[in-house]
């Protein structure tokens, strides 16, 4: 069986009217060497409850245009804000240390999680006129109830820090840690820059590699420089791919 050419998946998180200008900057940054817009957008229906996406607005028209151009669209939670009370040491650790209060689906009960998934899907699919490629929880954090709801809701793809999988079957279709950046503190910035530098120098070329960027990255010139260098480095000897390539084949 021939060896698969290394493929790079790029995603822009937290796509919302609140960050429209920053999303534009990120799209320009990651697509400089792409022959077409081979990246994904993770769309938040109402970021923090104060930036709702509404059909018929200019931003909704932009989502449709991006999708028509070939950008893969994911549902990315609903509020991107964690208001849950967490039980257990592990959940509390994830909620506090792995995100800045944005792990929306970490502590939701099953019914609430499924309702937000369904509502987000309907909103986004009605706007773009085609199925969403999948669902990715804010901060890549899923509680047990959210995982159960995800399997029931019928999304074709989902993703966490280490893999992409098909919720209907549990089949893992891409493995490996996602390379990302964090801008909310000096030590997180320094850590992000260090990890990206190691990835550029030493990351083995895998069948599927993933890179994710966030609007806050544009606030720190060192991060945007690192992102540009990392995209260029990882795409050398690889190809830009779309998440939609991981979808089940029609009729499969």
Is the pLDDT higher at 43 or at 80? Answer: 43
Is the pLDDT at 90 greater than 90? The verdict is no
Confidence (pLDDT) at 2: 45
Q: Which residues, 6 or more positions from 162, have their beta carbon under 8 angstroms from its beta carbon?
A: 175, 176, 177, 178
- Per-residue pLDDT of 41-78, as tens digits, reads 999 999 999 999 999 999 999 999 999 999 999 999 99
- Rounded CA separation 25/178 (Å): 21
Confidence (pLDDT) at 248: 84
Confidence (pLDDT) at 102: 65
Is the pLDDT at 211 greater than 60? The verdict is yes
Mean pLDDT score, 220-235: 96
Question: Token pair for residue 95?
Answer: 């909620």
When the pLDDT of each residue in the chain is averaged and rounded to a whole number, the result is 90
Is the pLDDT at 98 greater than 60? The verdict is no
Confidence (pLDDT) at 153: 95
Is the pLDDT at 107 greater than 90? The verdict is no
Confidence (pLDDT) at 249: 75
Q: Spell out the domain ranges in the chain.
A: 7-246
Confidence (pLDDT) at 250: 45
Is the pLDDT at 79 greater than 90? The verdict is yes
Q: In terms of Cα–Cα distance, which of 31, 19, 16, 8 is closest to 183?
A: 19
Q: In terms of Cα–Cα distance, which of 241, 190, 220 is closest to 10?
A: 241
To the nearest whole percent, how much of the chain has pLDDT over 90? 81
Confidence (pLDDT) at 100: 56
How far are the Cα atoms of 19, 48, 117, 119, 197 from residue 14, in angstroms, in the given order?
8, 11, 15, 17, 24
Confidence (pLDDT) at 34: 94
For the chain, report the end-to-end CA distance as a whole number of angstroms: 21
pTM: 0.91
Q: In terms of Cα–Cα distance, which of 213, 204, 232 is closest to 3?
A: 204
Is the pLDDT at 3 greater than 90? The verdict is no
Q: Domain 7-246 is classified in which CATH homologous superfamily?
A: Glycoside hydrolase/deacetylase (3.20.20.370)
- Rounded CA separation 62/185 (Å): 32
Confidence (pLDDT) at 206: 86
Mean pLDDT score, 95-116: 77
- Rounded CA separation 7/55 (Å): 34
């Amino acid at each position: 069986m021939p060896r698969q050419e290394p493929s790079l998946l790029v995603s822009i998180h937290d796509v919302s009217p609140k960050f429209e200008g920053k999303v534009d900057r990120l799209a320009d940054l990651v697509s400089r060497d792409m022959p077409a817009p081979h990246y994904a957008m993770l769309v938040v229906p109402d970021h923090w409850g104060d930036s709702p996406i509404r059909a018929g607005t200019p931003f909704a028209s932009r989502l449709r245009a991006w999708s028509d151009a070939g950008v893969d669209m994911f549902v990315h939670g609903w509020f991107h804000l964690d208001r849950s009370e967490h039980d257990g040491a592990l959940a509390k650790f994830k909620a506090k240390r792995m995100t800045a209060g944005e792990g929306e689906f970490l502590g939701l009960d099953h019914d609430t999680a499924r309702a937000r998934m369904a509502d987000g899907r309907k909103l986004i699919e009605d706007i773009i006129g085609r199925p969403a490629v999948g669902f990715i929880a804010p901060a890549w954090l899923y509680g047990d109830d959210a995982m159960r709801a995800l399997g029931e809701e019928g999304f074709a793809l989902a993703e966490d820090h280490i893999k992409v999988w098909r919720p209907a079957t549990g089949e893992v279709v891409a493995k490996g840690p996602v390379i990302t950046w964090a801008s909310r503190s000096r030590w997180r910035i320094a850590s992000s820059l260090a990890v990206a530098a190691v990835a550029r120098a030493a990351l083995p070329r895998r069948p599927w590699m993933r890179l994710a960027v966030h609007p806050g990255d544009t606030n720190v010139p060192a991060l945007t420089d690192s992102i540009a260098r990392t995209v260029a480095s990882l795409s050398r000897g690889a190809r830009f791919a779309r998440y939609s390539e991981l979808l089940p084949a029609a009729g499969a």
